[in-house]
Amino acid sequence: TGSGTGLGLSISLGIVREHDGRIWAENATQSGARFVIELPIVAPRPTGEFQSTPSSQPVADRLHVLVVDDEASVRVALQRYLSGRGHEVETTASGREALARMREDAFDAVIIDMRMPDVSGEQLYGELKARDPSYAERVIFTTGQLVDDTVRTFLASTGRPCVPKPFEFAAFDQVLPARRAS
């Protein structure tokens, strides 16, 4: 994750909570801190009886989602969470890559980080709105910059949902569309 942003710990917390576990910090004896994770023990399934975990959503409501974030740990965490919810998820590390993917394929939802090095979330949204306003209506923003007045003003002007970082994965269940756009 980014250097010193604390986002890695937030993502770890989200993953641990999704597995009904706990995480906490302890002072290390020499210096620094030690993070402890507790996860519940799951009994192994008898051989030949493996079943996939059923999705909480019917097949008809599975969405095709594009996650656009320059941080690999965020992309991986969101892909795991959303795939586990039954969605088909693709990821990309840049706004330029996202534009190329959206020319090739249709997505029901596009999760965009506001701060990326090549094309910002604001620029990507503007490009989508100019090309196809219906695509702009599928955008969900993420950001750790809600203290920035410019970011808050922009987000308010779009009317699109924003999940603040560090986020709880369940927040995406509230903002994803209920059914496919296509």
Q: How confident is the model at residue 6 (pLDDT cuts 50, 70, 90)?
A: low
| pLDDT exceeds cutoff 50 at 89 | yes
CA gap 27, 30 in Å, rounded: 9
Q: For every residue of the chain, which 3-state class applies, written as one string? A: CCCCCCHHHHHHHHHHHHCCCEEEEEECCCCCEEEEEECCCCCCCCCCCCCCCCCCCCHHHCCEEEEECCCHHHHHHHHHHHHHCCCEEEEECCHHHHHHHHHHCCCCEEEEECCCCCCCHHHHHHHHHHHCHHHHCCEEEEECCCCCHHHHHHHHHHCCCEEECCCCCHHHHHHCCCCCCC
56-68 average pLDDT score? 75
Considering the domain architecture, whether residues 161 and 118 belong to the same structural domain is answered as yes
Considering the domain architecture, whether residues 33 and 96 belong to the same structural domain is answered as no
Considering the domain architecture, whether residues 14 and 74 belong to the same structural domain is answered as no
Per-residue model confidence (pLDDT) at position 12: 76
**Residue 50 domain flag:** no
Considering the domain architecture, whether residues 132 and 71 belong to the same structural domain is answered as yes
Q: How confident is the model at residue 59 (pLDDT cuts 50, 70, 90)?
A: very low
User: Pairing state of beta strands 33-38 and 88-92?
Assistant: unpaired
93-119 average pLDDT score? 93
Structurally, how many domains does the chain consist of? 2
Considering the domain architecture, whether residues 91 and 126 belong to the same structural domain is answered as yes
CA gap 12, 15 in Å, rounded: 5
Higher-confidence residue of 60 and 13: namely: 13
**Residue 52 domain flag:** no
User: Pairing state of beta strands 88-92 and 64-68?
Assistant: parallel
| pLDDT exceeds cutoff 50 at 49 | no
**Residue 109 domain flag:** yes
Higher-confidence residue of 166 and 127: namely: 127
Considering the domain architecture, whether residues 79 and 14 belong to the same structural domain is answered as no
Mean pLDDT taken over the chain? 82
The number of angstroms, rounded, from the C-alpha of 142 to the middle of its chain's C-alpha atoms is 8
Per-residue model confidence (pLDDT) at position 96: 93
Q: How confident is the model at residue 130 (pLDDT cuts 50, 70, 90)?
A: very high
| pLDDT exceeds cutoff 50 at 112 | yes
**Residue 150 domain flag:** yes
| pLDDT exceeds cutoff 60 at 155 | yes
Considering the domain architecture, whether residues 76 and 166 belong to the same structural domain is answered as yes
Please give the residue range of the domain that contains residue 158. 61-175
User: CATH number, domain at 106?
Assistant: 3.40.50.2300
